[in-house]
Structure formats: C-alpha cells, structure tokens
Amino acid sequence: MKKSSLLQGTLDLLILRILELGPNHGWGISNRLQQMSKDGLRTSQGSLYPALHRLEMRGDVKSEMTPSDNNRRARMYTMTAAGRKRLQQETQTWNAFALSMRRVLGTNE
Amino acid sequence: MITRIIAFARGLMRRRKIDDEIVEELQDHIEREIEMHRSRGASLDDARRMALRDLGGLTQTIESTRNVRATWFDGLERDVQYAARVLRRSPRFTATALALLILGTGSATAILSITYAVLVRPLPYPDSDRLVFVTEKDGAGVSWPNFEAWRKGATSFDGLAGSLADAAIITSGEVPRRFESRSVTANFFGVLGTAAQQGRLFDSTDARPDAPPTIVVSHTFWVRELGGRTGAIGQPIALGSNSFHVIGVLPPGFRYMTPADIYRLIEPQVAANYRGMQSPTTRTNFYIVGRLKPGIGVAAARREMQTLHTALALAAYAKPPKEWGLELVTLADRIVGKMATTFTVISGAVTLLLLITCVNLAGLLLTRSAARAHEFRIRAAIGGSRWHLIRQLLVEQGVLVAIGGVLGAAAGAIILRGLISLAPRDLPRLDEIHLDFTVMFAITALSCACAFVFGVVPVLKTLGAVGQALVAHAGRGTTRSGAWLRSGLMIGEIALATVLLAGSGLMVRTMLRLAHTNPGFDPHNLQTVMFSLQGASWPDERKQAFYPSVVERLRAVPGVEDAAITYSLPILGSNWWNVFMTEGTTAEYWTSVGEFPNAGMAPVTAGYFEMMRIPLLEGRSFDRSDTPTSLPVAIINSSTARRYWPNASPLGKQIRQGFPNAPYGPWRAIVGVVGDIKQEGVDRETPQQVFLPVVQQPRTTVFAVARTRGPVAGSSIEAAIHDLDRTIPVFNDRTIEQVMNEASSRRRIAMVVLCVFGGVALLLAAIGVYGVIAQGVADRHKEIGVRMALGASSGQVVRLFLRHGLIVIAIGIPVGVVAAVVAARSLASLVFGITVTDPPTLGAVVVVLVCIALLASYLPARAAARIDPLDALRAD
C-alpha cells in the first residue's frame, strides 16, 4: 500500500493516542508520529504544533513548561480526562467507519 | 470597571507570555532535531536545514500556532493598525472628516450641555417637580394679606412659603458691609426640602414676635466670614441696629433664584419694614413658592388658587380691580423663564449644525466608499471574508469617530468656557453647567450611526454584486444611486443653511434695531454706584441734607462733568410702582373704570434731567428751590401727560400717591413734563413715570449717577462718597452701557451663536456643493473628453455641470425658506422691531446663498471645461 497523506482530523486522534501512553513534549510526539508514518501515515511536523495548541484550547490536553536538559525548557503535554473520553469516542467512530469501508470495498487481507 | 481593565491587561500579558513560549517550544524542537540529525552524522548546517525543512519553516509555524491561540481581539488590533495606516494615507479625507467631527460634535456638546443643565435637569431640590411658583397677575409680587389668605384657604399644598430678595448691612465689623440676603417665611426651607449642613434651619418658634432674632447663613459666608468654625453657630451678628444669632449653615451650593449669603425671617418684620405689602393690591417683590401634595397636578392647583383668589376679591370689592389675578407655574419654568427661548433657539441652531455636519460627513464617506468600492470588490473576489471586510470598515470608521469624538469633546470644553464668559451673570443655573456626559454620549452615538449608515452600508451594497461589478466598473467607483443620494444630501444641507442664516439675519437686524433705538436719554459715559443710608442714624432730615452734598462732592471728582441721585435707574426698571389719584376725580370714577392711575415713582435730585439729557418738554425741572419744606411738586413724563390730560396742559394739576382711602404723602403740583425714556429696557414699552424731588421723598438705597468725560472708575465715585462718610455701604458700580449690555445679553448670545453657526453652515454647504459637482466631474472625466473631442465647447461643458448645481439650489433654497419661516417662530420673543418673516432679511439670505452655491458649482464646472480631451481619452 502506498503512503497516503493523513486524513484530516486524524492527526488529533493520533496525538491523543500517543499521549495516552504518557505525557510527552512536541518533539517526542513528532518522533512517535514519524515512527507511525513508517506504518503508512505521513504527517508534517509543521501542522503538529497548531494541532497541539488547538487541542489545548479545546481542553483535551493540558501543558506546562518544564525544564529539560541543556538549560532549555520544553512544553510537556498531558492528556486530560476530556481528552481520554474524546479518544474513546473518536476511536469507536473511526473503527465503525473503517469497518464500513472494508465491507464496501471488500477485503484483500 | 477597574477590575475589568485589570483582567484585560492580565490577558494581554498572558498572551505575550504564551507567544514567547511558543517560540521557545519550537526552538527546543529544532534543537532536538538538529541533535538527532547530527547523531546520524550530518553536518551542523545540513542538520539545521533538514530540521527547518521538516518543520516547514520556523516563522510560518510560529505564525500558524499563534493563530490557533488568536482571539477576536488580536484581529481587532491588526484592523486598528491597518485603519490608522489607511487614514494616514489619505490625509485630506482624514483632516476634513476630523474637522467636521470636531466642529459638529464640539459645538453641539457644549451647547446641548448648557441646555441640558438649564432646561432639562431637575432643580437641585428634592422632588423638585412638585415645587410651584405663585404670583399675582403678570408675575407681580404678592401682598402679605393675600399670601396669608392663600395659606389659610389652599388645600393643594404641603406648604406655601414666601421670600423676597433684599440686602443686609452687617454693622458688627469695622466698616459696615453689604451682603445679598433673602427674607423668608419660617417654613421656606421646609417647603424647598433643604436641610441644614450645620446647626438648624428656621422653624415656627423663630417666627414668634417674642423670639430672639435669628439668621441662617450660606456655606460660602460661613467659610469666608465665620472661618468655617462649628463654634460659629450661636454667634451674634449685627444687622443694622439689631443683633441676630446664627442658628444654621446651608449646604454648599444652595441657591434659590438669586444667590444670597444671609437668610432672615420675614414674619416679625412684616409690620415694621414692609408696610407696602399690607395693602392687597400693591405690587411687591415678595414671591411665593409652594410644594404640591403628592398626586396633585399643577393645573389642579392653579384652578384651586384662582378660585380662591377671585373669592378674596369679591369679598373685598364690589368689582374686582383690573389688576387682580393669580398665576401659578412650576418653579423650573419660573427660574428658567425668559432664557428658555434663547436656549431653545440656540439648541435648535446647534442641532441643525450637527445635522449639516452629519450630512457633510455622510457625503464625504459616500464619496470615499464609492472610491474604495473597487478595492473591496477585488478583496472580496480574491477570497477576503465578507465579515473581515465589514469589520475592517467598521474599525476604520470607529477609529475616525473615536479620534473625532475625543477632540470634539476637548473643543466642546473650550467652546463651553467661551459661552459661559459670554453669558449674563444672572443666567439661571449658571453654576450648574458643566460638560455633560449624557449629551456627549448621545452625540457620539449619532456620529457613529452616521458613519455606519453612509460609510459602511453603501460598500455592503456594492459587495452584494461582487463578480459582475468587477467587470462592469473597471476602476470607476461611483454608482448613479450614490450620486442621487449625494445630491439629496446637498439639498438638505442648503435648506438647513438657509434656516440658520435666516435666524442669524433676524438677530443681527434685531441688535441693529436695538442699538438705533433712542432710549430717551444719553446713555454714554454714565457711571453709577448704589449706596444705602440705613439704620436709626439716618433720619429723613439727615438724608435730605446728605443727597445734595453727595452730588456736590461727585461733581468735584476729576473727569466727572455732572452728577445726580435717583431711586430708579433707566433700563434697569422702576423700583417703586404706585397708584395715584388725580385732582378732581373721585374714587368712584376710577372704580367704575376698573383701573387706578399708576406709575413708576422716581425720587431724583435737582438737575437729574439735565445730567441724563432727558428733554424738558413743558414747565420747569427740579432745582434748588425744591426743598423739604417748599411746595410739594412732581414732574411727569410725556406718556403720563398724554394718558391723563390728553386735551390740556397738566401743569399746575395736583396728584397724590395711594388710594383715596389710603393716601400716601401730600398732594403735589405738577410743575413740568419731560420726554419719555426707556425706563424698563430698550425693548420694552415706555412706562408712565412720575418724578419727585428726593429731598421731599427720602429713600434709603439710591443710585448715584455721574456723567463723565471719559471712563472714570467706579471706585473713585465710591471713594468720593466715603470721603463724606466712611460708614456708608457703596456697591454695584457699573456704567449704564454695561446695564444695557446685560439687558440684551440673551439676544446677543442668540445672535453670536446663530451667526457663527450660520457662517459655518454656509461654508459647509459651499464645500458640500463643490464636492458633489467636483465628484461628478471626476466621474465623467472620460465622457467630457469624448464630448470635447466631438466638438463640445467649453461653455457647453460648464453649463452641463452648472445645471446640476442649479437644480440643487433651485430645490434647496425654497425648501429652506419655508423651513426658516416655520423655525423663525421660535425667535418671536427675541426679535425686536421686525417680524420673524422680515422680507429684507430672507431676501438677503437667499441672495447670499445663491451666490455662494453658484460659485461653489462654477469652480468645478470650469475645471471640467479645462480638461484636455487627449489626456482624458488616454486615461485607463
């Protein structure tokens, strides 16, 4: 299968999935996304940060500036209860959607 | 409010912090990326390049992340910056619009603030709408017996109180000093609802004949004269030969009619000092204020009082005297009185000016939005959101109106100060006037509405048809409907200017008439002061000897040509009205006619007529042969002679003051007739007057009048009187010309305001006409080129545009004249010697307006004729 560009709206879902594993900073999330992209999902780093801030404005994640090595500070993102709930819902919706798509298109697994 | 501002500021600070943190976060990301690439063996430069590439550019990402955080406020900030840039880029438009806003809102704020303070705001007494003012017929003061009868009989009131303005001479100090005072009934402050700031105010026990004499003082007096000490309550103060105790201090700023420093009770003094008030038909300066019971209307109270008053007359007389009657108005109406017309007129004028300003602003914005419609269509076509465009326009107009509003308010404060300096000192409620925020808000709202309707709406309309409009109007912005709207606005502007100019014309003619009215005496170079010979140390004999010595002393003052003493000053009005009997006519005769002869009585010194340059028509004037013991004599004015001795010479005829059953003074022989003078004011009817030798009729407070060669200071007159006796209070120094100026001040205010506004309106109308025609020329630039290329003469081109101007004039001026005739009715009580539809005035106004409007249309039309056809065709 060819690498397809990330369907709109799925970036939020992926971020929440990564954060479900534990708090992480932007670069860490970006790295995890990169690994995922080897699995066929390609994201651009440029759209990651607006997406993170949008999620925070919506209340799905919260963030805090934390000190990191080399005298720098990084913004550490943590999933909120609302974000966890949203992840569940969106995952269900997505699975249902994917299932219907598979049925329609037939399986080649 | 303050907490909101703090929250807003905190929000701003937090935003700044988040902005910084976004930068920090992204930098951290890039550095981690660089480290990662380096650890895989890339050079530093390559690593940095790859990191930035993967992020899609640092600034772009910062910007897009910030946008997620952005609120409406950030957009607004950008819009304001953009608007400021746009306004700076077209300085001519900005300057004109601001000038209009400052002029219009400034003058309107100032004048409507005054009107609001004087006419609209309630009087500074609790429940002041229940306070009424009661007088006898024609606003005359009330006699004591009538007041007592009303007080007993009337049921509409919680209380009826009376007061009269007088003066108090404080004799406790080194030199006697005069203070404005008011004698009041014991319930006066109760009826007004005023409470003491210190001590207490009068109550009924103070009014008992055996009660110790008490006074209440103003806050100013307490601070200035009594040192503001609490201990001042109970302190004795000598007024004349009596000692009074201060029992209370009024709240700061308390004022009833005229300002006063000392309030004393009228009741114990009525019998002794105000004999005149005892007869039911005498005119007095005693006026009544009443507090209506809750729920009782002014009309109902008036009906009750009039019924009561008629019953009083019927009980005392077979037939009520002609001058019997009663008037009851609200206190507010009485206080504002005559000035109400002036304020209505100037408020009307400023409202018209404000309208013209808005019309002009509208025209300006219309032209501008037409010119910018193209810009907005393009922006809409390339995807600018409608809401964004509208918001930006709104912000632009908002910035304009906000700057104009702030500067306009500043201008308003300056204009207000100027107007107050122009106002007569006795302007009612002068001390309550300040720049009013309600007024300012209303006016700003009006300008905002105007800016929105004419600056934003037309653009919205053009946005409606984005696509085809772009193609159709390549570059030329104006639409036909816009042009018609502008012409309509022009017509309105010319009509409004006509109204204002007609008003100023009427007032100018009135002032000229007044200046050219012969007052019957020579008012130039007359300096006057008042002095008072009060108390037991001034028996009549001493006064009689004193008057001639004052005149002698004043004649010796350098610069003084001649001097005299009089009880009533011309223009200022008579201080003493009295009925009189004529020889050989019975009381029955006058009762049957229903009117007793009456006149203003003026005791004067010998030489008064010569000094005033009042012509002697018959007989002789007063001279040294008139002494306290010589034959009692009188001199009457020409009006009195004509009225009572129409067919014979009045010389030698006898008259006597008072009623047949209550005569006052001796029979007097008429020895002379003098010319009429404008005793009551230049604009008033000449009253009947009887002059008496002051040595035969001594008075306590009189005017000393000096005819001078040039300006002579009132203080040198005062010094001369003090040379004779240092204990005499001398006050109110002024010239007759000042008195005349004060008397015409309400007309002068109206004239100045109407003239200034009329001039501005004319200017605005001219600019407006010029603008519309010039815009027409600009819009049809190419068409003119074609016409001229096809052989149209420059005369034809001029006529083409002049015709537009002529149409506007031909509609606007007749509309304006009709409106002016209607509006001029409000000037009826201000004009003098002409009618409010004075044809010469209206004619002159029309001629001026036509000339100016024609000039304003001719200039752009001529410019059109000078268009080079080649240039015009090459453009675009």
Based on the fold, state whether residues B297 and B317 are members of the same structural domain: yes
Q: For B50-98, write each residue's pLDDT tens digit.
A: 888 888 888 888 877 877 776 666 667 777 888 888 888 888 788 888 8
Q: For B502-516, write each residue's pLDDT tens digit.
A: 989 998 999 888 888
Based on the fold, state whether residues B261 and B279 are members of the same structural domain: yes
Q: What is the count of structural domains for chain B?
A: 5
Domain assignment present for residue B739? The answer is: no
E strands along B694-729, which residues? Answer: 701-708
Residue A39 confidence (pLDDT):
63
Based on the fold, state whether residues B392 and B425 are members of the same structural domain: yes
In chain A the first and final C-alpha atoms are separated, in Å, by 12
Based on the fold, state whether residues B57 and B87 are members of the same structural domain: no
**Dihedral of alpha carbons B551, B556, B562, B567, sign:** negative
Task: Tell which of A11, A15, A27 to mutate to test the B interface (max B CBs under 10 Å).
Answer: A27
- Residue with the two structure tokens 């500067």: B407
Based on the fold, state whether residues B658 and B680 are members of the same structural domain: yes
Based on the fold, state whether residues B348 and B264 are members of the same structural domain: no
Contact B57 A30 (CB under 8 A): no
Q: For B263-291, write each residue's pLDDT tens digit.
A: 999 876 665 555 555 555 556 788 999 99
| Residue B692 vs residue B379, higher pLDDT | B692
Cα–Cα–Cα angle for B573, B575, B577, rounded to 5 degrees: 100
How many residues are given for chain A? 109
Q: Tell me the sheet residues that pair with B169.
A: B178
E strands along B185-339, which residues? Answer: 198-199, 214-217, 236-239, 242-249, 262-265, 287-292, 326-330
Which of left, alpha, beta for B321 (phi over 0: left; psi -120 to 50: alpha)? beta
Give the lowest-confidence range in B83-97, B98-112, B360-374. Answer: B360-374
Q: How far apart are CA B263 and CA A94, in angstroms?
A: 91
Based on the fold, state whether residues B32 and B106 are members of the same structural domain: no
Contact B65 A57 (CB under 8 A): no
Domain assignment present for residue B735? The answer is: no
Q: Which of B21, B28, B69 sits opposite A27 (nearest CB)?
A: B28
| Residue B314 vs residue B225, higher pLDDT | B225
Q: For strand A73-79 and strand B287-292, is the pairing parallel, antiparallel, or unpaired?
A: unpaired
Contact B28 A73 (CB under 8 A): yes
Phi and psi angles of residue B242, each rounded to the nearest 5 degrees, phi first: -110, 150
Task: Tell which of A24, A29, A53 to mutate to test the B interface (max B CBs under 10 Å).
Answer: A53
How many residues are given for chain B? 876
Highest-confidence segment of B51-60, B331-340, B687-696 = B687-696
Contact A45 B54 (CB under 8 A): yes
The arithmetic mean of pLDDT across residues B603-626, rounded, is 94
- B103: nearest Cα among B661, B713, B759: B759
- B125: nearest Cα among B179, B164, B98, B161: B161
* pLDDT surpassing 70 at residue B683: yes
In chain B, the residue whose alpha carbon lies closest to the alpha carbon of A28 is B29
Residue A107 confidence (pLDDT):
62
Mean per-residue pLDDT of chain B: 83
Contact A53 B22 (CB under 8 A): yes
A98 contacts chain B (CB < 8 A): no
Residue-number span of the structural domain to which B39 is assigned: 2-70
Q: How far apart are CA B229 and CA B220, in angstroms?
A: 12
Based on the fold, state whether residues B721 and B753 are members of the same structural domain: no
Provide, as residue numbers in chain A, all residues whose Cβ is less than 8 Å from the Cβ of B29: 26-27, 30, 45, 49
Q: How far apart are CA B389 and CA B108, in angstroms?
A: 32
Q: Tell me the sheet residues that pair with A61.
A: A79
**Which band of pLDDT confidence, cut at 50, 70 and 90, is reported for residue B359?**
confident
Helix or strand holding residue A3 (H, E): none
Domain assignment present for residue B633? The answer is: yes
- Using CA atoms in the order B368, B369, B370, B373, what is the torsion angle rounded to 10 degrees? 130
Alpha helices, DSSP H only, in B423-479?
Answer: 437-455, 457-464, 466-472
Based on the fold, state whether residues B370 and B445 are members of the same structural domain: yes
Per-residue CA distances from B795 to B632, B803, B863, B872 (Å): 86, 12, 11, 18
Return the number of CB contacts < 8 Å for A and B. Answer: 62
The DSSP code sequence of B144-170 is HHHHHHHHHH--SEEEEEEEEEEEEEE
Task: Tell which of A45, A56, A65 to mutate to test the B interface (max B CBs under 10 Å).
Answer: A45
Based on the fold, state whether residues B464 and B594 are members of the same structural domain: no
Q: How far apart are CA B294 and CA B130, in angstroms?
A: 7
Q: For B198-213, write each residue's pLDDT tens digit.
A: 899 998 888 887 888 8
- Which ipTM did the prediction report? 0.86
Q: How far apart are CA B213 and CA B268, in angstroms?
A: 9
* C-alpha count within 13 angstroms, C-beta hemisphere, residue B212: 11
3-state secondary structure of B209: coil
Instruction: Count H helices and E strands in chain A, helices first.
Output: 4, 5
Cα–Cα–Cα angle for B751, B752, B754, rounded to 5 degrees: 65
Right CATH for A4-105 from 1.10.287.3510, 1.10.10.10, 1.10.3210.10, 3.50.50.60:
1.10.10.10
Based on the fold, state whether residues B65 and B78 are members of the same structural domain: no
Based on the fold, state whether residues B660 and B556 are members of the same structural domain: yes
Provide, as residue numbers in chain A, all residues whose Cβ is less than 8 Å from the Cβ of B26: 26, 49
> How far apart are the CA of A108 and the nearest CA of chain B, in angstroms?
34
Residue B612 confidence (pLDDT):
95
Domain assignment present for residue B598? The answer is: yes
- Using CA atoms in the order A80, A82, A84, A85, what is the torsion angle rounded to 10 degrees? 170
Helix or strand holding residue A13 (H, E): helix A10-20
Using an 8 Å Cβ cutoff, are B708 and B735 in contact?
no
B654 contacts chain A (CB < 8 A): no
Helix axes B457-464, B437-455, angle to 10 degrees: 20
